[in-house]
């Protein structure tokens, strides 16, 4: 499903075919362990599911993979689960596979609000961490704060995560929540909001819950276009019409 010229939605990822760039956001590795510590018992299947989804995406043979913030979940420390799972995911993403090009795939980690202790993991893997990454007329940033940098403001398209957008759809008495991509604008720029990649819950219902990102406005959000993720991607029109 095309969301903008040259940018496609594939699963919970964005694919920029011309550049062979894959963008995912908000994996929140270690989230299950954090819930279990709070006494909320959840089956530890999220990591296995995400690995399976990532392996399918790697069939696209990306040259560059951007994780747009919140690779891990815990703020104050790196849990054992986070160490193990982040290193395993980075190994999977960087593995060359059967591509003809020499060397590993390049992986860039965009620093999110949960990534206060990401540096030790990145150093171990020699992976690049950035506050944002801009190329052509696109800038990828997590979306939890606004940066005052000329490189960013030269871009025409912003791609953010952080919000974990989802939307509730009602059919009769039944109502279900679905992950979704959002397409709208911030100032004079096109703005794409990516859903969370992790699967413990669908996300925050943008029709009902308080918005988190400073790039999103409570009034303007209703004019954003919604792309719902189900068995495939469905273009649902504007949020106000759902």
Tell me the pLDDT tens digit for each residue of 142-161.
999 998 888 898 999 999 99
Q: Give the residue from 228, 227, 223 showing the smallest Cα distance to 238.
A: 223
- 211-216 CB contacts, 8 Å cutoff, 24+ apart: 211/163, 212/144, 212/162, 212/163, 213/143, 213/144, 213/160, 213/162, 213/163, 214/143, 214/144, 214/145, 214/146, 215/143, 215/146, 215/158, 215/160, 215/186, 215/191, 216/163, 216/186
Q: What is the pLDDT of residue 114?
A: 61
Residue 65, phi then psi, degrees to nearest 5:
-120, 125
Angle at 90 between CA 89 and CA 93, to 5 degrees: 85
What whole-number distance in Å separates Cα of residue 122 and Cα of residue 99? Answer: 24
Point out which residues pair with 225 in neighbouring strands.
Answer: 183, 238
What whole-number distance in Å separates Cα of residue 48 and Cα of residue 54? Answer: 10
The Cα-based distances of 148 to 132, 154, 180 in angstroms read: 11, 11, 28
Segments of the chain scoring below 70 in pLDDT: 33-44, 73-79, 96-103, 114-117
Q: What is the pLDDT of residue 99?
A: 47
Q: Is the dihedral of CA 200, 206, 209, 213 positive or negative?
A: positive
| Class of residue 106 by CB neighbours under 10 A (exposed 0-12, middle 13-18, buried 19+) | middle
Residue 133, phi then psi, degrees to nearest 5:
-140, 120
Domains of the chain: 2-241 (3.60.21)
Q: Give the residue from 88, 110, 139, 116 showing the smallest Cα distance to 26.
A: 110
> pTM (2 decimals)?
0.91
Residue with tokens 């908000």: 26
The Cα-based distances of 96 to 44, 48, 68, 101, 108 in angstroms read: 28, 21, 21, 8, 15
Q: What is the pLDDT of residue 93?
A: 92
What whole-number distance in Å separates Cα of residue 164 and Cα of residue 204? Answer: 6
- Other Cβ atoms closer than 10 A to 2: 11
Angle between helices 46-57 and 80-94 (to 10 degrees): 10
Q: What is the pLDDT of residue 100?
A: 47
Q: What is the pLDDT of residue 74?
A: 61
């Amino acid at each position: 499903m095309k969301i903008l010229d040259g940018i496609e939605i594939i699963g919970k990822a964005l694919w920029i075919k011309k550049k062979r760039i894959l963008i995912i956001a908000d994996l929140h590795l270690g989230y299950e362990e954090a819930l279990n510590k709070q006494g909320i018992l959840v089956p530890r299947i999220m990591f296995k599911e995400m690995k399976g989804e990532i392996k399918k995406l790697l069939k696209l043979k990306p040259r560059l993979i951007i994780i747009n913030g919140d690779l891990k979940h815990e703020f104050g420390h790196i849990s054992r689960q986070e160490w193990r799972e982040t290193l395993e995911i980075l190994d999977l993403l960087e593995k060359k596979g059967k591509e003809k090009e020499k060397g590993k795939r390049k992986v860039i980690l965009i620093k999110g609000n949960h990534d206060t202790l990401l540096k030790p993991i990145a150093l171990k893997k020699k992976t690049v961490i950035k506050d944002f990454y801009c190329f052509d007329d696109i800038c990828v940033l997590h979306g939890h704060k606004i940066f005052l940098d000329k490189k960013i403001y030269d871009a025409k398209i912003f791609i953010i995560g952080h919000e974990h957008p989802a939307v509730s759809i009602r059919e009769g008495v039944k109502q279900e929540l679905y992950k979704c991509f959002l397409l709208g604008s911030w100032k004079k720029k096109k703005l794409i909001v990516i859903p969370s990649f992790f699967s413990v819950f669908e996300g925050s219902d943008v029709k009902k819950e308080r918005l988190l990102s400073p790039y999103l406005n409570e009034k303007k959000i209703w004019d954003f276009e919604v792309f719902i993720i189900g068995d495939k991607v469905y273009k649902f029109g504007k949020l106000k019409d759902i």
